[in-house]
Structure 1
Amino acid sequence: MLWTLPQLEHLQPAQVVRAHTSPLHLERRALVQEAETIAAQGGLAWETQRINQVLRHQSQHLDKIFNFAPLMEQGGLLPPVLIKGHRQAHYGPDLIRTARAVYRIVQPAIFHSVTPNWRSILIRHFRAPGLDTIPPALLPHNARQRQIWERAAALGWSAGVAEARSIYRQDLARLTMDLTGMIQFQRLLDEGKVSTPVMAVAHLGIERGKRLDGEAQRMAVGVAERRITRPAGFQSPRYWRVLPR
């Protein structure tokens, strides 16, 4: 169950703690650590839920932008991710090597049972700990401790919110790189600059699983196995072709 920062800041101990274990004798560090830790977890869960709500509200728009379906090949093969760097240079004591563009395959072609979509990458879930799990001895019991608690809770909450936004930005960057990298690969494939992965298909017919006593307990009919035998790579310039604009 999610809760808000004000709920945490104004949390009151539900029981009176004995004098020898009273939070009045707790070190300031313990109070700050508890408030910051639980607030950071709450802020992370809260902001992540808010981001999810925004994403779901824009789902139709995102479905059009991050559409991997046209890139999926028959047999569930997803193309490699290829990135392009511009104007790279390497310097040595007696040599400078420059390039207008550098291409790299950062992820090989892989099999997918379902077409990837933005939801599987951008939608995340983090669970906030319950406020009732905080030991009474770690709650503020006077005005001075209350001030320390509220300040630490605010800092922890801000850190949790910042972490949620950072995770979202990283996930979005990864999703964007995957999609644009696959499109880049398809473009170079059309130009003859890269080769497609080579896939072998083996028709195994019928398979039977057996128990230890040798009795068949499972049978699969029409078994076929697909395997990538050669990954995608870059082609020699003699295979390049110029496409009409």
Structure 2
Amino acid sequence: MRFLLTTSLCAIIAASGAFITPNTAHAVLPVDKEEPITTGEERPLELEYIFSYEAVDEDVQNEELPFDIRAEAIKEAAISFGARGGLAKRTYEIRQELDLRKRYLNRVFNFTQLLVSAPSGLLIEPPIVTESMNSMLIDIDGQTAAVSDKIYNIIRNAHIVSAPRTWHVYLEREWGKVMPPPDILVPQNDRERELWVKHSAMGWEYGWQQANDIFKEDLSRLESDFRGMIRYRMLLAQGMISPPYALQVDRGITGGGDQMRIGDRAVQITGVPELMTGAETWKPASR
């Protein structure tokens, strides 16, 4: 069943994310404070680099702040740095997993087969229809109630497109830039390094989980939209919703001055799909 993809794909991608064992060796990265460590086009940072990150300016002073005040600032910087790194890394890995499964995803989420041809080589994307089962609505005063076996809603109606949408626009996200913290908040001794490692690991886990949650939401939206278009086709076959109507107007040669259009045509949807309540016109669902 194609819509088991949510569980299976999420499980496969989640299982691929193993926690990275830190390297205790310190490494100075070639970073300016105003520039990201990585850009959205490069492979994201590993956790061990965040653990071992050192200030670019070796002469930076901590301004002799009390340890408890400085410790809180280091904790916040480490959590933020780790979270951004974890989010970028997990997003990158999800993109890698999706790339391995792109042929499967192309077959499952084939929006092309759902489009309607329109004049001049254009296409009409069908509406997205939702379905609610066993709905109940009780008035605020509790004196009346409405109960329905099913409720259909058109949440996005038909519109003209030049090409079908794809799963890529739903699931593929950029992992973004990872900016380093200010040098003043980078650990300068072993005690601060211990705090840094602990809290950057916490932040990494937060960012990692956030990337997984974002992916699950994106996948859910993809499935919901795709299922909504399939539902429209099923309702159309049963006579429970009307088809879209499009009109082409040939305007010939238009323009003037510094622009002229030859064979100018206008394509307009003149009738959007509407749910049809006349049950006498409905047809039984084909099996």
The alignment's TM-score, normalised by the length of structure 2, stands at 0.76
- Superposed displacement of residue 20, structure 1: 6.2
Equivalent pair of 1:205/1:221 in contact (CA under 8 Å): yes
Aligned-partner Cα distance in 2 for 1:201–1:36 = 58
Of 58, 72, 79, which residue of structure 2 is paired with 1:16?
58
Q: How does 1:210-225 map to 2 (within 5 A)?
A: 216-225=257-266
Aligned-partner Cα distance in 2 for 1:168–1:20 = 40
Structure 1 unaligned segments of length 5 or more: list them.
210-215
Equivalent pair of 1:36/1:152 in contact (CA under 8 Å): yes
Q: Which amino acid aligns with 1:218?
A: Q
1:207 aligns with 2:254: yes
Q: Which amino acid aligns with 1:119?
A: H
Q: How does 1:114-193 map to 2 (within 5 A)?
A: 114-130=163-179, 133-193=180-240
Q: Which residue is equivalent to 1:7?
A: 49
Structure 1 or 2: more strand by fraction = 1
Aligned-partner Cα distance in 2 for 1:181–1:82 = 5
Q: Which amino acid aligns with 2:114?
A: L
Q: Which residue is equivalent to 1:213?
A: none
Equivalent pair of 1:23/1:141 in contact (CA under 8 Å): no
1:30 aligns with 2:77: no
Cα separation, partners in 2 of 1:207 and 1:97, compared to 1, 3 Å: same
Aligned-partner Cα distance in 1 for 2:76–2:250 = 60
Equivalent pair of 2:61/2:184 in contact (CA under 8 Å): no
Cα separation, partners in 2 of 1:20 and 1:170, compared to 1, 3 Å: closer
196-205 or 17-26, which moves further after superposition?
Answer: 17-26
Q: Which amino acid aligns with 1:40?
A: A
- The number of aligned residues is 237
Q: Secondary structure at the match of 2:283?
A: coil
The alignment's TM-score, normalised by the length of structure 1, stands at 0.89
Identical-pair percentage: 26
Structure 2 unaligned segments of length 5 or more: list them.
1-37, 39-43
Q: Which residue is equivalent to 1:106?
A: 155
Cα separation, partners in 2 of 1:125 and 1:20, compared to 1, 3 Å: closer
Q: Secondary structure at the match of 1:27?
A: helix
- Superposed displacement of residue 244, structure 1: 4.6
- Superposed displacement of residue 58, structure 1: 0.8
Q: Which amino acid aligns with 1:57?
A: L
Q: Which amino acid aligns with 1:178?
A: D
Aligned-partner Cα distance in 1 for 2:145–2:61 = 74
1:95 aligns with 2:156: no
Q: How does 1:7-86 map to 2 (within 5 A)?
A: 7-17=49-59, 19=61, 21=63, 27-74=70-117, 75-86=122-133
Aligned-partner Cα distance in 1 for 2:202–2:155 = 38
Q: Which amino acid aligns with 2:76?
A: Q
Aligned-pair Cα RMSD in Å: 2.0
